Amino acid sequence: MIGLAGVVAAQDELCLDCHAAAADPELAAEGYGVDAAAWNASIHAESGFGCADCHEGTDDYPHEVTAPALCADCHDDAAEDFARGVHGESHERNGEDEAWPAGEPCSVCHGVHDARAAADPEGRVHYRNIAATCGECHGDLAIVQEYGLSTAPFDNYQKSVHGRTNGDSEKHAAVCTDCHRAHLVLRANDPESLINPFRIPATCGTCHDEVSEQYLGSVHGTAFEHGVSASPTCTDCHGIHSIKIVAEEGATPLEERLVRSTCVTCHSSEALMSEYGVAVSRVATYQATYHGLAAKRGTAAVADCASCHGIHAIYPSSDPRSSIAPANLEATCGHCHPGAGEQFARNPVHFVAGEGDPGTVVASWVRSFYLSLIAVVIGGMLIHNGIILRFHLRRRIRQERGAASRRRFSPSQVAQHSVLLVSFIVLAVTGFVLAYPDMWGSRLLEVLGLTEGARRWVHRIAGVVLMSAAAYHVAWLWTSYGRQELRRILPRLADLREIADNLLFHLGRRDKPAAAGKFDYPAKLEYWSMVWGTAIMAVTGIILWFPVWATTFLPFWAVKVSEVIHLFEAWLATLAILVFHFFYVFGHPDVYPLSFSMLHGRMTKREARHRHPEWGDQEAVSPPRRRR
C-alpha cells in the first residue's frame, strides 16, 4: 500500500514530466520551469507537501493558473509579521514598482521551489547564509538607491567582527536577523524594534549577556535606564554595522585601544557634558598629563580612559565597585605601576587648579608661583637686554650721524616700504588667527577686543591697503627715477656668478666677496618674490572675499584652490621674511643691531663701498626730491 508521501511524490513526478526545466524548454522560458533536484531537496518536498498543495486548480490537464501560490496560506504568522515590517510596507506601497526582484516577496529570501529549512546549511536562510541573502538587495547599489539607502551597512558588516567571524564554523556570530528579526523588520524608531535605541542593550545582551549586565549597572546604563537618551549604549561606542575587532590577532596595542577615540567623542563636547553636570575638562586635563602626551605621540603601553575607569563596568568614584574608588585606587594604579602605594595613587590624573585634595591645591599654588616667577625673571631679562640693545642702537646712530652718507632710497620708497611693512604685519597676524582659530594668538586678540568679525574686516582693509600700495608702486615705476631703479633690480645672468662668489667667500674659498651693485642678489630675490607673492595673494584674496561673484566665471573648485594657495603663500612669505629678510635687516653682522636705511633711506659711504662696491664707488646721484 502506497503511503501519503508516496502518493504526493507520484503526483509531483507527473507535474515534473512537463515542468522540469529540462523537460520542456518552452515552459521553462515562460517561467514555469522547475529544477527537479532543487525541489526534491526542498523543505516542502521533504515534509510531504506536493505541487497541488500550493498550486490549487491544477488537478486536471491541461490546466490554467487560476491564482498564484501564496505562502501566507500556510505561514500566516510569518506573513503577518512581514506585512507589519518595513519590507511588507514597501511591497504594499510600491506593488509592481518594487525595486527588489519580482514575484512572491517570500521567495526573494527563501527561494521558490528550492526553499530549505532554516537549519539546512545549504538553505538561503541558514544563519551562515543570511548575510549573503540580505546582501543580494542591500549590497546592490541600484536597488538600495531606489529607497534612499546605501550599501555601506552591508559592506561594513562584512568587514566587522560579526561578519568576519561568521565564516568560523566553531562560532555563531550575529547576523542580520539576530538584530533586525527575520520577518518583523521594523524601523529603529519603532518601540518594538530590536534596534530601537532603548532596546539596544537587550538586543546585544542576547549574545553578550555578561557584558550587558555590567553595562546596565554602570553609570552609563543607569543613566540610560532613567531616560538620559544621550548616555551611550552599545552602538555608540562599538558602532552599528562596522563593529571593530578589538583583539584581532596581529593587531598592535594601539589599534586595540579604540577607546582613546571613543570616549573623547562625548566627553569633549561642552554642550553635552554641561547638560548633565559632567566636567568637560576631563579630556583636556588627561591629555595634559604624561599619559595623555605619550598617547598623542603614539605610545601604546600607556594608561587611557579604560585603564582606570573600566570598559563596561564604569561606576562613579563614590561607588565601592568603582576601579577609581579611593579604596581601589592602589590596585588600579598597581596594574601598570607595581608597588604603587596610597600616596602614589592619590596623585590626581585630571588636574584642575584649585580643585580637589590638598595635593591639588598645593600644586595649584606652586603653579601660580612659577607663573609669577617666570614673568618677573624673563621680564627682568628683557629689560636688561633692552638696555644693552638701546646702548648699541644709540652708538650706531651717533656713528652714522657723524659719517658721510649718500641716499639709498627716495622718500617715496621709504614711505612705500613703511606701508608694505605695516599692512603685511597686520595681514599675517589677522590671517593666521583666522586660519588657526585655536592658536594662542587668537585668544589674545579676543581679549584685546578683536573678535573674529572684527579681525576679518581688519584683514580685508589691510589687504586693500597692500593692493593700493602695489598699484602705487607700479605707477611709480613709470617715473624717471622709478625706471632707473627698475633697470637696477632686474635679474641678470651675472647674479648667478654673484651668488657663487659670495658663498665661496664665506666658505673661505675666495679672498673677497662679490662686487655687488646698488641691489645685490638678496635684494633682487626679495623684491621679485614680493611682486609674485603680492599678485598671488591679491588674486586669491579677492576670490575668497567674493566667492559667489568669482564662481560666476570660474569653476567651482577655484574657491577651494584659492583658499589653499592663499594660506600656503602666506606661510611662504612670512617664513621668507623671518628667515631671509630679517637676517639682512637685524641679524647680519654688518648691520647689527638694525639697518636704519629703511627709516631714513640713507647709507654711510663706507658701508656703501663695503657692501655695494659697484654702486658705492660711483658718483652719488641723488633721487629726485619733491618740490616744495
* CA–CA gap between residue 182 and residue 108 (Å, rounded): 13
Question: Residue 379 corresponds to which cell in the numbers above?
Answer: 621680564
Least confident segment among 22-36, 184-198, 387-401 = 22-36
Q: Are 113 and 40 in contact (CB under 8 A)?
A: no
Quote the CA–CA distance of 613 and 516 in Å, as a whole number: 6
What does the pLDDT read at residue 254?
42
What's the pLDDT tens digit per position in 495-527?
Answer: 999 999 999 998 989 888 888 888 999 999 999
The fraction of the chain above a pLDDT of 70, given in percent, is 90
At 559 the pLDDT is: 93
Higher per-residue confidence, 466 vs 159: 466
Which cell goes with 249? 590577532
Give the C-alpha separation, 515 to 613, whole Å.
Answer: 6
Distance (Å) of CA 12 to CA 49, 57, 67, 256:
9, 15, 19, 58
For residue 104, what pLDDT band results from cuts at 50, 70 and 90?
confident
Q: Which of 27-41, 155-169, 205-219, 328-342 has the highest mean pLDDT?
A: 205-219
Q: How far apart are CA 226 and CA 446, in angstroms?
A: 41
Indicate the SS3 state at residue 457: helix
Q: Are 45 and 5 in contact (CB under 8 A)?
A: no
Report how far apart, in Å, the C-alpha atoms of 326 and of each of 115, 339, 488 are: 61, 16, 78
Model confidence pLDDT, tens digit, residues 177-211: 999 999 999 999 999 999 998 899 999 999 999 99
More confident residue, 397 or 10: 397
Checking if the pLDDT of 463 tops 90, the result is yes
Q: What is the pLDDT of residue 563?
A: 93
What is the band of 238 on the pLDDT scale with cuts at 50, 70, 90?
confident
Report residue 382's pLDDT band, with 50, 70 and 90 as the boundaries.
very high
Q: Is-contact 369 571, C-beta < 8 A?
A: no
Q: Is 319 helix (H, G, I), strand (E, B) or coil?
A: coil
Residue 176 has pLDDT above 50, yes or no: yes
Q: In terms of CATH, what superfamily is 405-616?
A: Transmembrane di-heme cytochromes, Chain C (1.20.950.20)
Which three cell numbers, joined as nine digits, stand for 483?
Answer: 625706471
| pLDDT attached to residue 246 | 64
Q: What is the DSSP string of 354-395?
A: T-SSHHHHHHHHHHHHHHHHHHHHHHHHHHHHHHHHHHHHHH
23: confidence class by pLDDT, cuts 50, 70, 90: low
Q: What is the mean pLDDT of residues 109-118?
A: 89
pLDDT band at 600 (very low <50, low <70, confident <90, very high): confident
> Is the confidence at residue 253, as pLDDT, over 50?
no
Phi, psi values for residue 244, rounded to 5°: -70, 155
DSSP 145-209: GGGT--SHHHHHHHHSHHHHHTT-TT-----HHHHH-SS----TTSTT-TTSGGGHHHHHHTT-H
| 548 pLDDT above the threshold of 60 | yes
Q: Which three cell numbers stand for residue 538?
A: 591679491
Of 168 and 307, which is predicted with more confidence?
307
pLDDT score, position 155: 93
User: Quick one: pLDDT band at residue 257, thresholds 50, 70, 90?
Assistant: low
Q: Which three cell numbers stand for residue 61?
A: 490537464
Mark 151-163 as b/e (b = at least 16 C-beta within 10 Å): bebbbbbbebbbb
**Does the pLDDT of residue 57 top 90, yes or no?**
no
Confidence at 2, pLDDT banded by 50, 70, 90? very low
Place of cell 635679474: 491
Percent residues over pLDDT 90 in the chain: 40
Q: Which three cell numbers stand for residue 444?
A: 589674545
Tell me which of 391-395, 528-532, 594-598 is least confident: 594-598
In this predicted structure, which of 50-64, 119-133, 252-266 has the lowest mean pLDDT? 252-266
More confident position, 220 or 18: 220
Q: Which amino acid does the sequence have at 126?
A: H
CA distance 351 to 355: 8
Whether 419 has a pLDDT exceeding 80, the answer reads yes
For residues 594 and 390, what is the distance between their CA atoms, to the nearest angstrom?
Answer: 11
Q: Could you write out the three-class secondary structure of 264-276?
A: HHHHCCHHHHHHC
Q: How confident is the model at residue 28 (pLDDT cuts 50, 70, 90)?
A: low
Contact 520, 408 (CB under 8 A): no
Residue 63: other Cβ atoms inside 10 A: 10
Spatial distance between the Cα atoms of 40 and 193, rounded to a whole number of angstroms: 37
pLDDT confidence tier of residue 252, bands split at 50, 70 and 90: very low
Which amino acid is residue 26, in one-letter code?
Answer: E
pLDDT at 4 over 70: no
pLDDT in the model for residue 491: 93
Query: How many angstroms separate the CA atoms of 418 and 381, rounded?
Result: 30
The dihedral built from the CA positions of residue 270, 271, 273 and 275, taken in this order, carries a sign that is positive
Number of H helices, E strands in the chain: 38, 2
Secondary structure (3-state) at 20: strand
Q: In this structure, what DSSP letter does residue 480 have?
A: H
Checking if the pLDDT of 475 tops 50, the result is yes
Average pLDDT over residues 10-19: 76
Mean pLDDT of the chain: 85
Is residue 5 scored above 50 in pLDDT? no
pLDDT at residue number 16: 79
What is the reported pLDDT for 200?
A: 92
Higher-pLDDT residue of 252 and 99 is 99
The more confidently predicted of residues 592 and 573 is: 573
| pLDDT (mean) for 463-480 | 96
Cα-atom radius of gyration of the chain, to the nearest Å?
Answer: 40
Greatest mean pLDDT range, 45-59, 73-87, 579-593: 73-87
Q: What is the DSSP string of 390-454?
A: HHHHHHHHHHHHHS-EEESS-HHHHHHHHHHHHHHHHHHHHHHHHH-TTSHHHHHHHHTT--HHH
For residue 405, the cross-strand partners are: 604
Q: Is the pLDDT of residue 345 over 60?
A: yes
Q: Do residues 620 and 558 make contact, with C-beta atoms less than 8 angstroms apart? A: no
φ/ψ of residue 471, rounded to 5? -65, -40
Query: Where are the domains positioned within the chain?
Result: 4-69, 72-185, 246-352, 405-616
Pairwise pLDDT comparison (621 vs 99), residue with the higher score? 99
- Label residues 383-404 b or e (16+ Cβ within 10 Å = b): eeeeeeeeeeeeebeeebeeee
Q: Which helix (H) or strand (E) holds 604?
A: strand 602-604
